[in-house]
Structure 1
């Protein structure tokens, strides 16, 4: 999802406007004597206003404007608490630095590698506040979302702002028909998806890709592991890549080897160098009209619930369908889905933690959710709000809403404390296999060893 990529170098600080109350003087009727002051009853001192600092990572005009609108709405409802919002680029590094230096914001929502903060214990445990809340209802939020917000039985975050479903196979109806395929019968496993890939992909006279069937690493296919985003390929092949009870990785297994081989199969058909050349001309994901899928030069993509809303703007003249992602052949027909997303959290060192939690509560309300959905198309994890969402403005969103109740498996992002390291090296692993530098078996074994060593280095107490 493109809003999760923060590329701006400079901070953009937007201060929420604060309203200074003007005390109106009481006027006596003309000619009347002023009322005598009551002895021993001094006028009460005005309550001191608390200003809380909120950091978020979402950039771009759409995201920034929506976050400011949420802050403004909170400020209008709370005279004694005001939110000062700040968009922070490279927030993952800067947030940890601020906490270590004793100068954190009061609250943070969005764009972190959350699990490392949970595991290091540098943010507040929120269970007591959540259990006492009259706004947040644990049962009204996906249990898988709470799993992502937790570490070793304690809850460190509240799913909010953008915390909905991550997976669907999205496909261009016209490209499928032009290849002689039936759009009413999409592929259920990777063998069938590969047949679609071969039928749809076309080349020019020089052998360069003109139309691409499928890029396994585009959008959510190549994203994760999170949170905020789940790891797609282990879920498609039906195994857990991280075993939290044992604090161990699980990459050196035949299912991960098979997933790597499947990805390579798609790349081999077009040529890995040709794919690199294609990617130099077309971007990924679905927000930009010049990305390959919105531009109509790629037929299939794995992506999340935001896709229909983005394509309304980036590809308004094209027809798209949405269905369950393919599985390994052994899991053919299993309907799997996954939550993912972002969490309100309060760093240790926050000057106003109780007021910060009140703001987190507000971000989960219908009022805040309406602002966010109307301006960005993002959805949170509150089931009672999701039941009221009108999908008609984003054709295809209805599939994601249905999938929340129809899925055979509802998965989550595994809370691995070195998820960022794993994510970078997972992509390097795929490149090594695709370019023939390693076999899938070698790559799986090396990733297992590499991640285990990094976990031992960063968290020796866990290994």
Structure 2
């Protein structure tokens, strides 16, 4: 396996090997032409890659959208032009651009609602195996569950910006645990039974009007739902993506959430959480246990202070979410900056895809933002960030990732909406999680999955 940080000289050599005559002209000195001695012609414009991304990333994730692209330009001479699109409009805009044949060169993709695979199906993303082979880049650079999410029908589409396990972490308030006489849990090995026991000990106030809730997990989030199903031993879909059988995983997760919401009344609803959000409740010591994803750690550090309480607030930590005896792996939530099939600079767009997934990218990402990519040797590549206990926890959770199963008709947004709308009836106490409920849920999902693409 060869680790790459492509410099300008190597870029030119590789371009020549690929037969990229136009690229050589674009990267040559001003006035040079590809025809060698005696060639004439005006100087060529530099190559500019247009990168579609979610608006706001340039400020919230500067390592990804400012610092690494700037280095990439310095290394290769290729310029990167960001095209921010509001997150709520992102995929609609991408499909509009594709329909008019005006897609840029690279685009952010994600697969929590199957959109990455939908884009592959409709021919929007280029496969990059030939480019990877030409440069000696191996899938072994990434964890299997992370790179596996990029592989569709044996071909590689994009490389990971990340393949994170989403809601696979639990934040706990040490001071409140000790006050309740609960030993501080180890980083790994907690159980759902323990969460329920702890939450009942920690909750305060009348059950119908809590002053302190015991536990929270976002049951309206598809990443949480998939992880919940898998931790109870189930799968979100069959392997073909044609059905969502309501197995023991679905039943176990929904039943547990129902007990937390309606039987013990230790978990707040969205209305109970209000504008403060779960981090706000955690910081105010009104929520001692909460399940969330990796970005929450930075928010807790900002709201509460250091884990050891040295900032004058309470002590806290993040631990791994319970796995269950038949655990099927966390859903690998893939993000890429894949090259598009409409790019006029496909090789160069591949180079940008790799630069936003390589070891240098991982270093910047971990040290500036606190996120991992999902590279196989990432703890050896990221320098001082590797000493952070939450970074170490992230790495171990990434390593347990298994790619999402993808619906064959790519109707992931609708699939999520049916699940959320239907299960909310149970969580709000309007339905019982009985056999009739599970039959209705499975029927609704089957009807959706039977619809055409």
- Which range, TM-score by smaller chain? 0.7 to 0.9
Provide the residue aligned with 2:81 in structure 1.
84
Q: In 1, are the aligned partners of 2:163 and 2:398 still within 8 Å (CA)?
A: no
Contact 2:232 2:248 in 1 (8 A): no
Which deviates more from structure 2 when the two are superposed, residues 175-184 or residues 259-268? 175-184
Q: Does 1:412 align with 2:406?
A: no
**Contact map agreement 1:391 1:398 (CA 8 A) in 2:** no
- 2:134 match: 132
Taking a change above 3 Å as real, the CA distance of residues 50 and 276 of structure 1, as seen in their structure-2 partners, is closer
Match of 2:10 in 1: none
Aligned equivalent of 2:362: 369
On the 8 A contact 1:170/1:300 being kept in 2, the answer is yes
Is the Cα–Cα contact under 8 Å of residues 332 and 401 in structure 2 kept in the other structure?
Answer: yes
Kindly name which structure, 1 or 2, has the bigger radius of gyration based on alpha carbons. 1
Match of 1:323 in 2: 319
**C-alpha deviations, 1:104-135, integer Å up to 9, x for none?**
1110124563222223333222222233333x
Change in Cα spacing, 1:236 to 1:430, as seen in structure 2 (3 Å) is same
The offset of 1:358, in angstroms, is 1.1
Q: CA deviation at 1:77?
A: 1.8
* RMSD (Å), alpha carbons: 3.3
2: CA distance, partners of 1:51 / 1:124: 18
Looking at structure 2, the residues matched to 348 and 292 of structure 1 have their Cα atoms a distance apart, in angstroms, of: 46
- Is 1:248–2:242 an aligned residue pair? yes
**Structure 1, unaligned stretches of length 5 or more?**
1-19, 25-39
Of 124, 148, 169 in structure 2, the residue corresponding to residue 122 of structure 1 is 124
State whether structure 2 residue 285 is matched by structure 1 residue 283.
Answer: no
TM-score of the superposition, structure 2-length normalised?
Answer: 0.78
Say whether residues 1:164 and 2:164 are aligned partners.
Answer: yes
Alignment check: 8 A CA contact 1:115 1:419 kept: no
Change (3 A) 1:422 1:51: same
Partner of 1:16: none
Q: Which residue of 1 aligns with 2:342?
A: 349
Shift of residue 359, structure 1, vs aligned partner: 0.7
Query: What residue number does 1:12 align with?
Result: none
Does the CA contact (< 8 Å) of 1:305 and 1:397 recur in 2? no
Q: Is the 8 A contact 2:145 2:332 kept in 1?
A: yes
**Residues paired across the two proteins, number:** 404
Q: Normalised by the size of structure 1, how large is the TM-score?
A: 0.77
2: CA distance, partners of 1:121 / 1:451:
26
Q: CA deviation at 1:342?
A: 0.5
Return 5+ residue gaps in structure 2 as ranges.
Answer: 1-26, 32-36, 306-312
5 Å-filtered alignment, 1:290-301, equals 291-301=280-290
Check conservation: 1:308, 1:394, Cα contact below 8 A.
no
For residues 254 and 350 of structure 1, the distance between their equivalents in structure 2, rounded to whole angstroms, comes to 45
